[in-house]
Structure 1
Amino acid sequence: MEIEIATIGGYEEVGRQMTAVRAGEDVVIFDMGLNLSKVLIHDNVETERMHSLDLIDMGAIPDDRVMSEIEGDVKAIVPTHGHLDHIGAISKLAHRYDAPIMATPFTIELVKQQIQGEEKFGVENDLVKMDAGASTRIGDDGVELEFVNVTHSIIDAINPVLHTPEGAIVYGLDKRMDHDPVLGDPIDMDRFREIGEEGVLCYIEDCTNAQKKGRTPSESVARRHLKDVMYSMADYDGGIVATTFSSHIARVKSLVEFADDIGRQPVLLGRSMEKYSGTAERLDFVEFPEDLGMYGHRKSVDRTFKRIMSEGKENFLPIVTGHQGEPRAMLTRMGRGDTPYELEEGDKVIFSARVIPEPTNEGQRYQSETLLKMQGARIYDEVHVSGHLNREGHYEMLNALEADHLIPAHQNMEGFAPYVELAESEGYELGEDLHVTRNGNVITLVE
């Protein structure tokens, strides 16, 4: 069976992930993501109103025109999880393919919301829910799609595996090896080892943290770190504000619980904070207190800030958007003094997140922190663990899968270098069975 892999997006940057695998006449697309940094550098860009070609020219979504070179029919579009760099282009591109969108329940719900917010294109692809651990047939030539449970900084994440007569194609974006997660099941390493024994033709791997020694800590480690930080503030009688990734439901859960422990009422503020936490609660992935407030609309947020100022900042923990310094996010507005919440000397701001290592984010985060410090805020930085594998996790995956071919992804050329060095130490050879590629290329594995 002929096997080709089109590396469409995410092979020159962190963002706008998209990969297509052709097995015979059947094609499966993994991810259709957005590169948010390419949007943020423009003022007042509303992607939902823009044409896909304009977003492609901006470098914001994958240029999928290479798909015209792929001989076969697209049978499925499979986003691995609900982060925007994996689902943010579905509303712009999916309508071009007569294929269902297949994902886990939480991811499908987020995709549905993306589609509902789209104003330029009508996306009518079927939305098919499939749980981690499940499999389904693709086409009529013995190809099967399997979802393997992984742990990441968002719930309900999977690594899809395409089983072909030539061996498995494992699409390894994004994960960490968490054997003690705060929410959900541990990573299914037993299944990865079984797949390795069955035979892996190609492993496509997110190599974001390949330069970092050791292993990525569990989310339970971040929870203990956060608990230590927040308990140390139990006697502080001023304002405490926390920010984290809106999609990081396990972290939001910990923030809510520890706020209550130190006698403060948590409240979630910001559109994406309300969206992700509200969706997770509605789908029974998490249980929050019945009286937990979630407010996304600006007027509702400002009313809540006024109530906090009236009843006393010492009684509340606002959990807000803005950990990357996004210009219109809650924390950035607070730093500019654009909300009724008044920061004062000594107030605490907890960044339960790290800066995404990209110039736009780094610049915006620096500006946001500077504004906060000018108002007297004390910054607690990187109360966090990564959602991506460090070096030892990569070694473990390579040993588990023993893939015939490797394709590094989710980075630029500089970011690929540590993974190439790591893979070469395991016996892979660049240009032979280790393929460093670019957006828009097609790699033929079996002719």
Structure 2
Amino acid sequence: MEIEIATIGGYEEVGRQMTAVRAGDDVVIFDMGLNLSKVLIHDNVETERMHSLDLIDMGAIPDDRVMSDIEGDVQAIVPTHGHLDHIGAISKLAHRYNAPIVATPFTIELVKQQIQSEEKFGVNNDLVKMEAGETIDIGDSGNVQLEFVNVTHSIIDAINPVVHTPEGAIVYGLDKRMDHTPVLGDPIDMKRFREIGREGAGVLAYIEDCTNAGKKGRTPSESVARRHLQDVMTSVEDYDGGIVATTFSSHIARVKSLVEFAQDIGRQPVLLGRSMEKYSGTAERLGFVDLPSDLGMYGHRKSVDRTFKRIMNEGKGDYLPIVTGHQGEPRAMLTRMGRGETPYELDEGDKVIFSARVIPEPTNEGQRYQSETLLRMQGARIYDDIHVSGHLNSEGHYTMLKALQPKHLIPAHQDMKGFAPYADLAAHEGYDLGRDLHVSNNGNIITLVDE
């Protein structure tokens, strides 16, 4: 059976992920993501109203025109989890393919919301829920199956999909960390990965997120970040002024920890910002997290400002606003607070807790620097980097290679500079660039098995 892999997006940058796997006549697409930094450098860009070709020209979404060179029928579009760099282009591209979107329940719900907010295209693809641990047939041959393996990441309900073919398995390894003690959800299913590495023809190809491949050791568990956050929150328990926290709004486990620790130190938590309301509200509605029944979630700007006024009237010392803006996004709540554009007034000595790291990209780094500078100018004290990554460090990569024993490796989720540490790591394990280690560009097709 012919096996080809098209590296469409996310092979020259962190963002706009998209990969296609062809097994015979059947094609599966993994991810359709947005490169948000390419949008943020423009003022007042509303992607919902833009044409896909304009967004492709901006470098914001994958250029999927290479799919015309793939001889087969797309049978499924499979987003691995709900981050925008994996689902943000579905509303722009999915309608081109007569195929269902297959994902875990939380991811499907986020995809549905993306589609509902789309104003340019009608996206009528079927939405199919599939749980981690399940396997379905792809196409009519009976020779190709799609399996979801549970992984842990900085968002709930993440999976690594596997395409099983007579030539071996193709494992799509974006994005994960090896968390055996997660705060929410089940641990990573390493047992299943080891089984896949030893079943049938083994693993033909492993496509791997190499974001942190150059970092030594292993990525800590989310439970480590929880303890760090608890230590910081407890240390400011006696402060009677304002404390504000920010994190990734999609990081439900972290939001849960912030809510619990706010209550532990006698403050009422409140979630502020559109994405904060969206992700936590969706997770609670689907039963992934149990949040206090009286927890306020406000996304609309007028509702947020009313809440800020109430906090100022009743006393900042009684509340913990948990807000959007950890990357310094121009229109996010924390950025507006730093610019003095909200009723919430920061005073000398007030605490701002960043339970997130800066995504290593120039636009984010510049915006975050500006946001922190504005906050400090108002007297705020910054608590930074209370976080653990959602991506594997080097020891995690060695563990995955030992478990899967893949015949071919394809690094992803980086630019050429970012691929270098993973290529070096793979070389130590006996892989050779150009033979079984394939460093690719966007728009390339890699033929693994020819007729």
Query: How does the TM-score come out when normalised to structure 2?
Result: 0.99
* Corresponding residue number in structure 2 for 1:271: 274
* Corresponding residue number in structure 1 for 2:329: 326
In structure 2, how many angstroms separate the alpha carbons of the residues matched to 1:227 and 1:412?
A: 35
In structure 1, how many angstroms separate the alpha carbons of the residues matched to 2:251 and 2:164?
A: 30
What does the per-residue CA deviation read over 1:62-109, in whole Å, with 9 as the maximum and x for residues that have no partner?
A: 000000000000000000000000000000000000000000000000
* Corresponding residue number in structure 1 for 2:118: 118
AA of the residue aligned to 1:214: G
Give the 5 Å matches for 1:112-261: 112-141=112-141, 142-198=143-199, 199-261=202-264
Q: Find out whether 1:425 has 2:403 as its counterpart.
A: no
Q: Find out whether 1:295 has 2:304 as its counterpart.
A: no
Q: Shift in Å at residue 432 of structure 1?
A: 0.3
Give the 5 Å matches for 1:302-381: 302-381=305-384
* Corresponding residue number in structure 1 for 2:35: 35
Query: How does the TM-score come out when normalised to structure 1?
Result: 1.00
* Corresponding residue number in structure 2 for 1:52: 52
AA of the residue aligned to 1:194: E
* Corresponding residue number in structure 2 for 1:393: 396
* Sequence identity (%): 87
* Corresponding residue number in structure 1 for 2:92: 92
What does the per-residue CA deviation read over 1:258-283, in whole Å, with 9 as the maximum and x for residues that have no partner?
A: 00000000000000000000000000
What does the per-residue CA deviation read over 1:34-75, in whole Å, with 9 as the maximum and x for residues that have no partner?
A: 000000000000000000000000000000000000000000
Secondary structure of 2:294's aligned partner: coil
In structure 1, how many angstroms separate the alpha carbons of the residues matched to 2:245 and 2:36?
A: 22
CA RMSD in angstroms, aligned pairs only: 0.3
* Corresponding residue number in structure 1 for 2:444: 441
In structure 1, how many angstroms separate the alpha carbons of the residues matched to 2:441 and 2:168?
A: 24
In structure 1, how many angstroms separate the alpha carbons of the residues matched to 2:140 and 2:208?
A: 28
What stretches of structure 1 of length at least 5 have no aligned partner? none
* Corresponding residue number in structure 2 for 1:20: 20
Q: Shift in Å at residue 140 of structure 1?
A: 2.2
In structure 2, how many angstroms separate the alpha carbons of the residues matched to 1:303 and 1:132?
A: 41
Give the 5 Å matches for 1:59-74: 59-74=59-74
What does the per-residue CA deviation read over 1:139-188, in whole Å, with 9 as the maximum and x for residues that have no partner?
A: 12210000000000000000000000000000000000000000000000
Secondary structure of 1:159's aligned partner: strand
* Corresponding residue number in structure 1 for 2:410: 407
* Corresponding residue number in structure 1 for 2:8: 8
What does the per-residue CA deviation read over 1:232-283, in whole Å, with 9 as the maximum and x for residues that have no partner?
A: 0110000000000000000000000000000000000000000000000000
What does the per-residue CA deviation read over 1:201-246, in whole Å, with 9 as the maximum and x for residues that have no partner?
A: 0000000000000000000000000000000011000000000000
Secondary structure of 2:261's aligned partner: helix
In structure 2, how many angstroms separate the alpha carbons of the residues matched to 1:382 and 1:196?
A: 36
AA of the residue aligned to 2:54: D
Large movers: runs of 4+ above 3 Å? none
Q: Shift in Å at residue 31 of structure 1?
A: 0.1
Secondary structure of 1:364's aligned partner: helix
In structure 1, how many angstroms separate the alpha carbons of the residues matched to 2:328 and 2:181?
A: 30
What does the per-residue CA deviation read over 1:267-310, in whole Å, with 9 as the maximum and x for residues that have no partner?
A: 00000000000000000000000000000000000000000000
AA of the residue aligned to 2:165: T
Secondary structure of 1:303's aligned partner: helix
What stretches of structure 2 of length at least 5 have no aligned partner? none
Size of the alignment, in residue pairs?
Answer: 447
Secondary structure of 2:181's aligned partner: coil
* Corresponding residue number in structure 1 for 2:77: 77
AA of the residue aligned to 1:33: G
